[in-house]
Amino acid sequence: MSDVPHPVDSYVGSRLRLRRTLIGMSQEKLGHALGLTFQQVQKYERGANRISASKLHDVSKILDVPISFFFENMPSGVRPLTGLSAVAAEPFEADQLQRRETIDLVRAYYRITDPQVRRRTLDLIKALSISEAAVKSEV
């Protein structure tokens, strides 16, 4: 068996970590809810250990997301490995959703209780990103 995690396992693990951190749950607390150690949760999050279907079902209930959440937006390059491609595969690299500042931004956004203020904040961020992209394209 290869030491390189399967890209799908790594992606599912990265989504598990994303959701867990977004709701502010520790690996230890998730492990306890699943009847596992925090080290096992770490291995799931890295993709080092594959999450069984029944365990993924339990995780989805604990983290309050549908099972499909763990597969959403999976990059097209993440495919089952066969033959020589398994040897040459690179470990899955976490995307921008895994960055600390992204997680902090999402947490802060959801702490805004007034739906209108939250919507205006989102509109502001979108406008800023469009404005910055326009400036960069002019250069």
**pLDDT tens readout for residues 37-61:** 999 999 999 999 999 999 999 999 9
Q: Categorize the per-residue pLDDT at 85 as very low, low, confident or very high, splitting at 50, 70 and 90.
A: very low
Contacts of 3 (CB under 8 A, 6+ apart): none
Torsion of CA 51, 54, 59, 65, to 10 degrees: 110
**Alpha-helical regions (H) of 7-99:** 7-22, 27-34, 38-46, 53-62, 83-88
**Percent of the chain topping pLDDT 70:** 78
Per-residue pLDDT, 128? 87
Q: Can you tell me the distance from the alpha carbon of 50 to that of 13, in angstroms, rounded to the nearest whole number?
A: 9
- Closest CA relative to residue 10, chosen from 86, 68, 90: 90
pLDDT single digits (tens) 4-16: 888 899 999 999 9
Tell me the longest C-alpha to C-alpha distance in the chain. 55
Average pLDDT over residues 77-85: 53
pTM: 0.62
CA distance 47 to 92: 9
Give the model's pLDDT for residue 63.
Answer: 94
Neighbouring residues of 21: CB distance < 8 A, sequence distance ≥ 6: 103
Averaged over 63-91, what is the pLDDT?
67
Residue 95: per-residue pLDDT? 60
- Higher pLDDT: 13 or 85? It is 13
